Structure 1
């Protein structure tokens, strides 16, 4: 990059910095008034957070090794599904940005964090809290709300549970983004169970630490374990294994139980396809619910539509439980299909192209990770997306990360041609990485065309090199080799 271009980038970055700092996220307009919250797992760790070659349990279970990487860059993880961005650390700010923007453009109103607290028996409780707080601290940047679903199973005694609720009081409930529903505007707190504390008296003591009334929601049909402390219940994923009756369970809840409790949360999920047996954990859950190419999710959203008057919100379960195969997060196998269905349900004026723009932003964050000037430009892209100025975001991203910049230096030149040439025919699991300019997972002649078009847009006519190191016949043969399957 020339000194002149570097100076221009620095001036531009300085000019837009105040705009980034004062940006105010816009509220998404939805035609469906149902509140939609996304259940979110903050439990993923990588060597970037654990050090060395260490990966967190939820990427590997008992027998997988993410350090084993195939020729496409795909890591060995404990899941039937592979994240579109690859396995990640939950506290990575670029991952959080990617996740929250995807949710926002899908019409999701807030996040329900699977929350473990500050005291408990699980050994990774500090890591979980750090990642949860990293997520919470970004909510306001994107105009999103949040709440928690407490995992009481890891509290060894009432004292630990009290400490956890006290932490919520001092650090979460006092935030304006915390979810409050109902006429009294009490903070919403789910509990996954209860599992440890199944007596109302225990919950009276625990919730006394909240400092205010709390809308406690238990799992469906377990409200009696919290007694009068429970404001209601929420549905979850379940079926009687031999009967394939998960839809009937959901229908029964909507028709009957949801009308018997003060507050009810519905649920929608794409399926349940866990990796416990393959991951050496054992048969933790004795059923599976096929995704059926999106038909399971269609059925769940249709039920929520039919019985929308009986529920106070819909919980999407889950954004990213890869081990159980319940994720709405885009994957190699499902693409953006599940979030597109959410967009249709919520009635937002956004589509897959807008979701892909968020994905492009994530790739650019990683490609230009060490480039402060470009990161400042990408901050503006992120702010524009949060403000729902989609066209401005797309234009700014094209400037910050131009198509055909395969070497990641911020411009399109002969160096990018060299990257394309040296990687011709390669495949990548991370669509759009390296010289995969058209996001199809293979470096081929189409990616040369993207480089050439980017080159001609910034260079005088007549200076774009053709692939001269290959004869025309040789170039054609290599191109065909990427399109014709080997036997």
Structure 2
């Protein structure tokens, strides 16, 4: 969090207690679950850059095949799946113009689904800034310009943008040898949104850079927390134990909340671009549930506000929970089960609604290929799906197929 100059120890102590009490009221209740989302894929028919990111290799294969992240069919499918699994919002990774365009389409899809559902599609949207997409040298003019444009185009007046206490929330992914430090990004956000009028959530601390004075919260990112084991057996237990302990031991505990992180595995052995021959085994779903268990048993004084699923669809690094040929709907079932567990509920493990979402995708894909279809019927099926009338949605969509 930002540095404050206070007069007197007593005043400081009173201020900390008062702020924590007030801030903790905001985070009271079940944490919100967000998905880290990649919008950088192209399909086989997209022209010169048709295999964008797919060409780097992927550990597993999407159930719907290689897709274009900018297509309405893809975005509707992802959002319907995520919402039906109990996920609260999407955090889009943005590093370049292609990603920004993808992010814009994600937001448009959210707004369209909200309109179809008569304003009842309560799904949040935020951005994770990738350092590669900002300035690479001083001054911070490109960063300021992009943040100003982002505020005007995607935050102001947008009911779907993720906010904490009415302040827009930003995630940032830390890179080695980056240009923009936590201090630099914090100062840029203050310049655009006003002093302390935004929330910056960072994924590293204690690695040689002072991040603690300039960010508002931390969240863990998928890693073993030690040596990468050839068999993938080091899934991150030592790292998560360290992380959740440490965020409650910072001096004066100045943070109003913490972020959490869960992941199903990691596998970049087929990644021909930035892959490092690294593996965290999925262990039949045990890794994913093990990372979730740290969320369930968390009892830190710093309350947990957001849980980041890492990731929805980073196929290049094998961290995806999106349905795949290899694992089917397993990770979605686990996601929903763990979300309901947070709420004190249970689920049966039925995958019917996910199968209906796949059928909706197929119809939307046919429509994009200019096959004559009744879009009113498809919209009605989507509306029924959003209202959890899955049998009725399936009946309508099967007739369309």
- TM normalised by structure 2 equals 0.78
Question: In structure 1, how many angstroms separate the alpha carbons of the residues matched to 2:317 and 2:378?
Answer: 33
Question: In structure 2, how many angstroms separate the alpha carbons of the residues matched to 1:232 and 1:88?
Answer: 34
2:100 matched to which residue of 1? Answer: 129
1:241 to 227, 239, 242: 227
1:6-405 equivalence runs, <5 A = 33-49=30-46, 51=47, 54-61=49-56, 78-116=57-95, 125-140=96-111, 141-142=113-114, 143=121, 144-155=123-134, 156-157=136-137, 158-174=140-156, 175-181=158-164, 184-193=165-174, 195-198=178-181, 200=183, 203-211=186-194, 213-221=197-205, 225-226=210-211, 228-239=213-224, 240-242=226-228, 244=234, 246-258=236-248, 260=250, 261-275=255-269, 278-281=270-273, 284-285=275-276, 287-307=278-298, 310-347=303-340, 351-367=350-366, 369-401=369-401
**Contact residue 38 and residue 112 of structure 1 kept, 8 A:** yes
Q: Deviations over 1:258-316 (max 9, x none)?
A: 564333111111000113xx44336x446421111111001111111111664211100
**Contact residue 241 and residue 288 of structure 1 kept, 8 A:** no
**Contact residue 106 and residue 339 of structure 1 kept, 8 A:** yes
Does the C-alpha gap of structure 1 residues 225 and 152 become closer, same or farther in structure 2, counting only changes over 3 Å? farther
Q: Deviations over 1:209-243 (max 9, x none)?
A: 13571110111316964454311111101122256
**Contact residue 235 and residue 265 of structure 2 kept, 8 A:** no
Question: In structure 2, how many angstroms separate the alpha carbons of the residues matched to 1:108 and 1:393?
Answer: 20
Does the C-alpha gap of structure 1 residues 170 and 259 become closer, same or farther in structure 2, counting only changes over 3 Å? farther
Q: Deviations over 1:84-132 (max 9, x none)?
A: 000111010000000000000100000011122xxxxxxxx32222111
Per chain length, whose mean CA-contact separation is higher, i.e. which structure has more relative contact order (CA < 8 Å, sep 6+)?
2
Structure 1: runs of 5 or more not aligned: 1-31, 62-77, 117-124, 402-487
**Contact residue 254 and residue 311 of structure 1 kept, 8 A:** no
Larger radius of gyration: 1
Question: In structure 1, how many angstroms separate the alpha carbons of the residues matched to 2:375 and 2:271?
Answer: 38
Give the superposition deviation at 1:161.
1.3
Does the C-alpha gap of structure 1 residues 199 and 292 become closer, same or farther in structure 2, counting only changes over 3 Å? closer
Does the C-alpha gap of structure 1 residues 152 and 160 become closer, same or farther in structure 2, counting only changes over 3 Å? same
Question: In structure 2, how many angstroms separate the alpha carbons of the residues matched to 1:178 and 1:222?
Answer: 30
Question: In structure 2, how many angstroms separate the alpha carbons of the residues matched to 1:38 and 1:340?
Answer: 15
Does the C-alpha gap of structure 1 residues 236 and 167 become closer, same or farther in structure 2, counting only changes over 3 Å? same
2:20 matched to which residue of 1? Answer: none
Question: In structure 1, how many angstroms separate the alpha carbons of the residues matched to 2:356 and 2:41?
Answer: 24
Question: In structure 2, how many angstroms separate the alpha carbons of the residues matched to 1:303 and 1:150?
Answer: 26
Question: In structure 2, how many angstroms separate the alpha carbons of the residues matched to 1:227 and 1:159?
Answer: 24
- TM normalised by structure 1 equals 0.65
Structure 2: runs of 5 or more not aligned: 1-28, 115-120, 341-345
SS in 1 for 2:222: coil
